[in-house]
Amino acid sequence: MPFEEASPQAEPDGHAAAPAAKRVFIKTFGCQMNVYDSERMSEMLAAEGYVETDAPDEADLAILNTCHIREKAAEKVYSDLGRLRDIKSARAEGGKETLITVAGCVAQAEGEEIVRRAPAVDLVLGSQSYHRLPELLSRLRGGETALVETAFPDEDKFQALPERASAKAVTAFLTVQEGCDKFCTFCVVPYTRGMEYSRPVAALVDEARRLVQRGVRDITLLGQNVNGYHGEGPDGAPTTLAGLIGQLAGIEGLLRIRYTTSHPRDMSEALIEAHAREDKLMPYLHLPFQAGADRVLAAMNRKHTAADYLALIARIRRARPDIALSTDIIVGFPGESDADFEATLALVREAEFAHAFSFKYSPRPGTPAATMDGQVPEEVKRERLERLQEVIDAGYRRFNGACVGKRLPVLFEKAGRHAGQLVGRSPYLQLVHADADPALIGRVIDVEIRAAGANSLSGAICGQS
Ligand code: SAH
Ligand code: SF4
Ligand code: F3S
C-alpha cells in the first residue's frame, strides 16, 4: 500500500536523553516497507547513541527514507533536501555538524545523481545497504565525503541488523519478503528493491516472538509481493506464506496477523484456505488489480484478466464471506481509452471494495511503459481519477455504513483525540473510536458500532452505555 505523505518518524522513546546524545531526524516516504526500514535504522542508531528527534534543525544526522514509485514522491525529496541544506549551513555557523543521508528507493534508483543535484548530501544509501549505516557514518566522520552505497550486497542485511528493540506500539510491521520479479511495465520496484528474496521462517518467528514479548499484538507481514513468499522452513524446504502464517499463529499473545501486498497470480489455494481456517488471520486483503480492461492489463504485464480477478475474489469470498477487499488502481496508463477506463469503473462497482488506492499513471525513467505510445494527457488522467475516486468513496461509505449496529472486536491501540477515548482497529482495518479505560490498550474488546464517519467508526464498548 503506497503512501506518499511524508511522516516524521520521531517518537523519542521516553528515556531521558544523556546530555551528549547525538540526535537523528528520520523522515519516511513511501510504503510500509520503508516504515519498517526506518524503524530498523532508528534501532541501529540507538545502539550507536543516537536519540530520535522530530526537529530537523536539532539533528546531527538527518535521514530521508525515500520513495521512487511516482514522480511526485521522488521530487518531494529534493524540496526537503533544499530545506536540509539551509539547516546544515545555519548549524555549521554555530559550529555544529549535520550529516545528510538519502536512503531508500530514490537512493537506489538515482545513486550519484543525488549528490550531483544536491551537493549537501553526505551519504546515498540504497535500500539493501542500510545495515552498514554505522560503518558508513564513521567513514564520513573520518573525512570521506559524498559516499554512494547502492550495491545489492551478498550478505543478508536482516541478519546483520541488531535485535529488535522495544516495540513502540501494539501493531508492528514485519518484512518477510522483499523485491519483485513481476516487472509490471509501469513499476520501479523490481529495480529499486531487486529480485524476490524471502527471509527464513525461523528468523521471522524469532522476530515476531520478540515483538510480542514487547507488547505487539497485531503484526502485518510485509513484502512487495508478499504472497510469493517462499522462505526456508525449519526442514530446509521452501515454505509458503500460508505455512509461515500457520507458524506465526502458534505464538501465544499474538492476536492478529495481516499481510500486504499480494499479487493476484500468487493467491494460492492454501492461502485462500488459511483465510477460512486461521482465526488469527484477519479478514482483510489488499489485492491490487490496477486496470479493468484486458488490453491494458496485458500492456501492464499483469498476466491476469479482469475475469480472472473477479473469479479469484469470488473464491476468496467463498472461503471467508466477510472479507474486506482493498486494491490499487492506475488511471491513464499509456493507450488507455475512454472505454478501457469505463471497464475499470465497472470492475470497481462489481468487486465492492472496502477500500482502494488510486493513482494517475506516472511515467518512471527506465520502465517500459514510460516510452510506450499513447501517453494520456494530464487533464484526462485528472478527470478519470476524480470519477474513479467518487465510485471508490461511495463503496467506502457503503462498507462503513453497513457496520453501524454491528458488534466488532476492536484491538485498542492508543488514546484518541478526546479525553477518555481510545482508538483501535476492527478486523477490517477500520479505525474505531470508543470511550474506554486506557488499561484496555493492547486488548481486543467488542464494540457496538454506533456511527460511521468519513474515515472512521465510533461506538461503545459492549457492556457500557
Ligand atoms: N506490490 C507492491 C506495489 C508497490 S507500488 C506493493 O507492495 O505495494 C504500489 C502501487 O503504486 C501499485 O500497486 C500501483 O497501483 C501504483 N504504482 C506503481 N507504479 C506506478 C506508476 N508508475 N504510476 C502510478 N502508480 C503506480
Ligand atoms: Fe511493482 Fe508489479 Fe512488482 Fe507490484 S507486482 S511491486 S506493481 S512490479
Ligand atoms: Fe516507494 Fe520503494 Fe515502497 S519505491 S512504494 S518506498 S518499495
In the reported structure, the alpha carbon of residue 69 is separated from the centroid of ligand 3 by a whole-number distance in angstroms of 6
Task: Give the separation between CA 134 and CA 376, rounded to whole angstroms.
Answer: 45
In this structure, what C-alpha cell is assigned to residue 208? 515476531
Number of domains in the chain: 3
- Residues having CB closer than 6 A to ligand 3 are 2, 30-31, 33-34, 67-69, 104-105, 188-189, 192-193, 224
Which protein residue has the closest C-alpha to ligand 1 atom 7? 224
Minimum-distance ligand to the CA of 332? 1
Task: Give the separation between CA 443 and CA 420, rounded to whole angstroms.
Answer: 16
Residue 19's pLDDT is 52
**Atom nearest to 261 CA in ligand 1:** 7
Q: What angle do CA 96, 100, 106 make, to 5 degrees?
A: 170
In a domain, 1, yes or no: no
Residue 152's pLDDT is 79
Q: What is the CATH number of the domain that holds 348?
A: 3.80.30.20
305 half-sphere exposure, CB direction, 13 A CA radius: 5
Other C-beta atoms closer than 10 Å to the C-beta of 164 total 20
Phi, psi of 18 (to 5 degrees): -65, 145
Other C-beta atoms closer than 10 Å to the C-beta of 65 total 28
In a domain, 341, yes or no: yes
Phi, psi of 358 (to 5 degrees): -130, 145
239 & 267 share domain:
yes
208 & 119 share domain:
no
Question: The domain containing residue 279 runs over which residues?
Answer: 157-401
The residue out of 365, 385, 401 marking a domain boundary is 401
In a domain, 278, yes or no: yes
Measured from the CB, is residue 263 less than 6 Å from ligand 2? yes
**Stretch (H or E) spanning 202:** helix 201-213
Measured from the CB, is residue 180 less than 6 Å from ligand 2? yes
Sequence-ordered strand ranges (E) for 200-263: 218-222, 256-260
311 & 221 share domain:
yes
Ligand 3 probe mutation, 34, 37, 64, most atoms within 8 A of CB: 34
In a domain, 3, yes or no: no
221 & 248 share domain:
yes
In a domain, 10, yes or no: no
In a domain, 16, yes or no: no
**Stretch (H or E) spanning 208:** helix 201-213
In the reported structure, the alpha carbon of residue 34 is separated from the centroid of ligand 3 by a whole-number distance in angstroms of 7
**Atom nearest to 183 CA in ligand 2:** 8
259 & 378 share domain:
yes
Under 8 Å between Cβ of 248 and 205: yes
Instruction: Please report where in the chains the cell 518518524 appears, as a residue.
Output: 9
The residue out of 106, 121, 149 marking a domain boundary is 149
Closest CA relative to residue 41, chosen from 107, 91, 97: 107
Task: Categorise residue 297: left if φ over 0, alpha if ψ from -120 to 50, beta otherwise.
Answer: alpha
Residue 464's pLDDT is 53
In this structure, what C-alpha cell is assigned to residue 429? 482495518
217 & 347 share domain:
yes
Which protein residue has the closest C-alpha to ligand 2 atom 1? 187
432 & 364 share domain:
no
Burial of 5 (0-12, 13-18, 19+ CB in 10 A): exposed
224 & 279 share domain:
yes
pLDDT in tens, the chain (465 residues): 444 444 444 444 444 444 568 999 999 999 999 999 999 999 999 989 999 999 999 999 999 999 999 999 889 999 999 999 999 999 999 999 999 999 999 999 999 999 999 999 999 999 888 889 999 999 999 999 999 999 877 677 777 777 666 556 899 999 999 999 999 999 999 999 999 999 999 999 999 999 999 999 999 999 999 999 999 999 999 999 999 999 999 999 999 999 999 999 999 999 999 999 999 999 999 999 999 999 999 999 999 999 999 999 999 999 999 999 999 999 999 999 999 999 999 999 999 999 999 999 999 999 999 999 999 999 999 999 999 999 999 999 999 999 999 999 999 999 998 999 999 999 999 999 999 999 999 999 999 999 998 889 999 999 654
Task: Supply the pTM of this predicted model.
Answer: 0.92
In a domain, 325, yes or no: yes
Q: How far is CA 320 from CA 118, 313, 316, 345, 349, in A?
A: 51, 10, 6, 25, 20
3-class DSSP assignment, residue 411: strand
30 & 100 share domain:
yes
394 & 418 share domain:
no
189 & 105 share domain:
no
316 & 426 share domain:
no
Q: Which residues are bridge partners to 99 per DSSP?
A: 61
